[in-house]
Structure 1
Amino acid sequence: MTMLETERLTLRPWRMDDAADAQALFTYASSPDVGPAAGWQPHRSVAESAEIIRAVLSAPETYAVVLKRTDEPIGSIGLQKPCASVIGTPGYQTPALEIGYWIGKPYWGQGLVPEASRALMRHGFEDLDLQAVWGTHDMENAKSSRVMDKLGLRLVRVQPHVRMELLGDVWRDEAVRRITREQWEAGVADALD
Structure 2
Amino acid sequence: MHHAGTQPIRTKRLILRRFTPADAAAAYHNWQTDPQVSKYLTWPPYTDFAQAQERIAWVADQYAQPNFYYWAIQLADQSAAVIGNIAVVRADENIRSLAIGYVSGQVWWGHGYMPETLRAVIDFLFTNTDVQRIEATHDVRNPNSGKVMAKAGMRKEGVLRQRGRNNTGVCDEAMYAILRSDWTKKAAPSHGLSGSAS
Q: Tell me the TM-score normalized by structure 2.
A: 0.81
The residue aligned with 2:152 is 151
Structure 2: gaps spanning 5 or more residues? 1-5, 63-67, 191-198
The residue aligned with 1:68 is 76
Q: 1:80 aligns with which of 66, 73, 89?
A: 89
Q: 1:13 aligns with which of 3, 15, 18?
A: 18
Residue 39 of structure 1 deviates from its aligned partner by 2.9
Is the contact made by 2:164 and 2:173 (CA closer than 8 Å) also made in structure 1? no
1:81-160 matches, within 5 Å, as: 81-82=90-91, 94-160=95-161
The residue aligned with 2:48 is 45
Percentage of matched positions with identical amino acids: 31
The residue aligned with 2:193 is none
Larger relative contact order (Cα-Cα within 8 Å, sequence gap ≥ 6) = 2
Distance 1:24 1:142, change over 3 A: same
Distance 1:57 1:118, change over 3 A: farther
Instruction: Determine the C-alpha separation between the residues in 2 that align with 1:175 and 1:140.
Output: 10
Distance 1:5 1:190, change over 3 A: closer
**Match status 1:24 vs 2:26:** yes
Residue 188 of structure 1 deviates from its aligned partner by 7.9
Deviation beyond 6 Å, 4+ runs, structure 1 = 188-191
Is the contact made by 2:161 and 2:171 (CA closer than 8 Å) also made in structure 1? yes
Structure 1: gaps spanning 5 or more residues? none
Distance 1:116 1:175, change over 3 A: same
The residue aligned with 2:172 is 173
Instruction: Determine the C-alpha separation between the residues in 2 that align with 1:153 and 1:189.
Output: 16
Is the contact made by 2:164 and 2:171 (CA closer than 8 Å) also made in structure 1? yes
Distance 1:12 1:190, change over 3 A: closer
Instruction: Determine the C-alpha separation between the residues in 1 that align with 2:155 and 2:94.
Output: 15
Instruction: Determine the C-alpha separation between the residues in 2 that align with 1:127 and 1:107.
Output: 28
The residue aligned with 1:54 is 57
Alpha-carbon RMSD:
2.4
Residue 151 of structure 1 deviates from its aligned partner by 1.5
Residue 114 of structure 1 deviates from its aligned partner by 0.7
- Give the total of aligned pairs: 178
